Amino acid sequence: MTGRLRGAVCGMVAAGFGIAVAELIAAAARPGAGPLVAVGGAVIDATPTPVKEFAVRELGTNDKPVLLSVISLVLLLLAVVTGMLGARWRRAIPVGTGVLGVVGVAAALSRPAAVVWDGIPALAGAVVAGATLWWLLRPRTVAKAAAPEAPVAATKAPVAATGAPVAATEVQVAAPVVPETGFDRRLVLRLGMLAAGAGVAEFGALGITGQRDKALGNSREALELPAAAEPAPPLPGGIAPGFTTANSTFYRVDTALTVPRIDPATWSLRIHGMVDREIELSLADLLRRPLIERDITLNCVSNEVGGPYIGTARWLGVPLAALLREAGVQAGADQIVARSVEGMTIGTPVVTALDGRDTMLAVGMNGEPLPLEHGFPVRMLTPGLYGYAGACKWVTELELTTFDRFDAYWVERGWGAEGTVKTASRIDKPKPFARMAAGPVTVAGVAWAQQRGIGKVEVSVDGGAWSEAELLPTASIDTWVQWRYSWKASAGPHSLAVRATDKTGAVQPEQRATPFPDGATGWHTVTVTVG
């Protein structure tokens, strides 16, 4: 029993030490390419869409920490098993740590933006973990009955005298190899040293990352965005608070386990593929172009009816149309594949960049450079398309191609290729299951149909007739519209439903549909108790 416990503890400590070393190497050489994050990224990409949907729905923005915790736990478990087996069969040590190493290396190399040496941290970590465990679980050449000094002397004498195999046999007879089982002082000391070493390595990794983040934060703050050649007009009077979403509360949806860190000084964008002239731009090049400023509502296709993955910001950017005209889009190219530094691909219809809407390469969000988690230094933004189809963050490459020839990341996973935003509406007030006094109650919320605009919003109480809500002023057809409705609430339980009609006259469908594969439908309904 104590042998197994000893193996388990040694396995855990050796794995912790190996991982810390790997993370330190990654932090120093390739930020964001640590084995934990690499395995996490591979798991995200391999996760079937329904499971991903479930995770996004149930865990929201916590999905990433939860995933990393689960991976750490699984790793710990495997380390414990390797240690327990290794305490009995030495061969289990290289096999166990080897398997973990192969998984880590494979995960690192499977990342779409990987380079060959991305496997090195995981490889080094596995070798360190294996060697450490080997060392910790080394059997002692001590015969149980013999006095501690005796075997040492016995070992030395015959070997030194003859150096012959015969002598070795004699040694084994004198001092049989026995696996240790307990926790003697020497082992405890070693475990403590290794734990401290892991702590130092982890601390070093965090320190290096912290330094880099500070430098990056500084260069982001130092980035002076030019004024827009076409500033957004001031928001119309009468807009209610909350129209513009603050950067700090803007929803975030992406597959990046760690936020990509891009040095704006080395960032570049390449426009290539089915174009007459390839274009390569630095950030300075981009910022020399005339910038437009627009209020645009961005939402996620994964948003459930009534869900939170939507926000409106004032974006500053370079119109993509002008860049594409310069590059000369060739006949037949119908898809722009945007690639980000971490290897995301987002496919956007070429028409949506050339039909006159404000599709842009955004550099600013609500009066400051893009926050790191929203795509610093440059992201795409396509009004009227869900984020997965038009809003590539951390973008570095635009390839003109066809939808026939290439499926972007989400399309490969079954999501619709087009990504047109569906007309939708949401009740924000009152909250579900709220209790209130009878009398006049203000029901309020938002409705959106980017590119088409909202024509009408209606509210129905307890499934009764639809009454038109008041629409507040809004910025454009690309922004949501705030609405309110004065309801004379009578005592009892009630359900409130909302539906919107876009400016083409199409009414938001009642039919419930899940976000997969091209956006949720159905009326948002809130149940409240009056009196």
Ligand X SMILES: Nc1nc2c(c(=O)[nH]1)N[C@H]1C(S)=C(S)[C@@H](COP(=O)(O)O)O[C@H]1N2
Query: In whole angstroms, how close is the CB of 368 to ligand X at the nearest point?
Result: 14
Candidate ranges 9-17, 254-262, 347-355, 504-512; the one touching ligand X (CB under 6 A):
254-262
Q: How far is the CB of 249 from ligand X (least distance, A)?
A: 11
Q: Of 55, 82, 48, 85, whose CA–CA distance to 69 is shortest?
A: 55
Q: Which is nearer to ligand X, 125 or 375 (CB)?
A: 375
Q: Which does 295 bind (CB under 5 to 8 A by kind): ligand X, Mo ion, none?
A: none
Distance CA 185, CA 182 (A): 10
Q: Which of the 8 DSSP states describes residue 238?
A: T
394 makes contact with ligand X (CB under 6 A): yes
**Helix ranges (DSSP H) in 30-112:** 35-46, 49-59, 63-88, 92-110
Q: Is 258 in the site for ligand X (CB under 6 A)?
A: no
Q: Which does 313 bind (CB under 5 to 8 A by kind): ligand X, Mo ion, none?
A: none
The mark string for 279-318 relative to ligand X (x by CB under 6 A, - otherwise) is -------------------x-x------------------
- Give the list of residues 6+ apart from residue 388 with CB closer than 8 angstroms, or none: 300, 301, 346, 409, 410, 415, 419
Kindly state the tokens that stand for 33.
Answer: 């390419």
Q: Which long-range contacts (CB under 8 A, 24 or more apart) does 239-242 make?
A: 239/472, 239/473, 239/474, 239/475, 239/482, 240/444, 240/472, 240/482, 240/484, 242/482
Work out whether 253 is an interface residue with Mo ion (CB under 5 A).
Answer: yes
With tokens 């971490």, the residue in question is: 342
Rounded to the nearest whole angstrom, what is the least distance from the CB of residue 480 to Mo ion in the complex? 16
Give me the 376-395 binding string for Mo ion, x by CB under 5 A, dash otherwise: -----------xx-------
Write the single-letter amino acid at 180: E
Task: Tell me whether residue 176 or residue 343 sits nearer to ligand X (CB atom).
Answer: 343
Q: Are 428 and 528 in contact (CB under 8 A)?
A: no
Distance CA(273)–CA(276), nearest Å, equals 9
Among 252, 261, 270, 413, binds ligand X (CB under 6 A): 252
Asked if residue 375 binds Mo ion (CB under 5 A), the reply is no
d(CA 279, CA 275): 9
Taking the complex as a whole, the smallest distance from the CB of residue 104 to Mo ion amounts, in Å, to 29
Q: Cα–Cα distances in Å, from 371 out to 27, 116, 309?
A: 22, 30, 17
**Rounded-to-integer distance, Cα 370 and Cα 350, Å:** 24
Q: Does 388 bind ligand X (CB under 6 A)?
A: yes
How many of the chain's residues bind Mo ion (CB under 5 A)? 4
Q: Does 344 bind Mo ion (CB under 5 A)?
A: no
Shortest Å, Cβ 254 to Mo ion: 8
Give Cα 170 distance to the centre of its chain: 61
CB of 56 or CB of 201, closer to Mo ion: 56
Stretch of residues binding Mo ion (CB under 5 A), selected from 104-112, 215-223, 296-304, 349-357: 296-304
- Binder of ligand X out of 6, 393, 452, 484 (CB under 6 A): 393
Where does this chain bind ligand X (CB under 6 A)?
Answer: 250-256, 298, 300, 340, 344, 346, 374, 387-388, 391-394
Where does this chain bind Mo ion (CB under 5 A)?
Answer: 253, 300, 387-388
